[in-house]
Amino acid sequence: MSELFWVNLFHQFAVGLSVGSSTFALVFYYYVVAAGETLPEQRKFMHIVYFVLRIGMMLIVLSEFAIFLYSYHINNYLYWMANPEVLMRLTLFTVIVINALLMHKRLISMWIGPVIAGGSWYAFFFFSVFVDIRWVELGFNYVTLLSGYLLWLLLLGIFLSALRLYLTRAQRLNEA
C-alpha cells in the first residue's frame, strides 16, 4: 500500500469526524430552536461537540496538506491547481472556517449560518468521498461546481428555513 492510501484513510477519518460533529450540531441546534431555550447541560454538551469538530478540522488541514505535498511531488503544480475538485475542497473548507468564525463572533444570522455550515460540510464530504471522479473529463469546471454548490446551499436554506418556521410555530402554539 502506498503512502497516499494511508493519507487518504486519515483524511476520510477526519472528514467523517467533522461531518458527523457538524450533523449533530445542526440537528441539536434545531432541537433547541424547537424547545425555545438552551439548558446549561445542553450548552456543555454542545461545547464538547464543537471541540470534536475543531479537532476534525485540524486533522483535515493536516491531511489536505499531506495530500497536496504528495500530489505536488507526483504531479506537477499546474495540474494540481487546475483540478476543479481540489479547488472546490479548498473553497469549501475556507467557507467553513470563515462561517465558523463569523458564527462564533455572532456576526452572521443564525438563519443563514447553520445553512452555510451544514451545506458546506456535506459538499466537502461529497468532494472528499468521490475523489476518483474526473470532473474535467465530465465537462465540469470550477465555476460549474461552484454554481452547483450555491444551488445546493439555496435548496438547503429553503428547507431549513421552512423547518425553523415550522418548529418555532409549533413552539408558539404549545405556549399559547
Alpha helices (H) in the chain, listed in sequence order: 3-35, 40-74, 77-81, 84-104, 113-129, 142-175
* pLDDT score of 24: 95
* pLDDT score of 76: 67
- Which residue bears the cell 443564525? 110
For residues 96 and 120, the answer to whether their CB atoms sit within 8 Å is yes
Amino acid at 12: Q
For residues 82 and 139, the answer to whether their CB atoms sit within 8 Å is no
Burial class (CB in 10 A: 0-12, 13-18, 19+), 71: middle
* pLDDT score of 170: 64
- Which residue bears the cell 450548552? 43
Domain map (residue ranges) of the chain: 3-175
Q: What is the pTM of this model?
A: 0.88
Q: How many CA atoms lie within 13 A of 175 on its CB side?
A: 10
* pLDDT score of 108: 95
CA distance 162 to 135: 33
* pLDDT score of 81: 67
* pLDDT score of 176: 62
pLDDT tens digit at each of 176 positions of the chain: 787 889 889 999 999 999 999 999 999 998 888 888 889 999 999 999 999 999 999 999 999 898 888 877 776 665 566 788 888 999 999 999 999 999 999 999 988 999 999 999 999 999 988 877 877 778 889 999 999 999 999 999 999 999 988 888 866 676 66
Q: Which three cell numbers stand for residue 72?
A: 505536488
* pLDDT score of 1: 72
Burial class (CB in 10 A: 0-12, 13-18, 19+), 99: buried
* pLDDT score of 84: 87
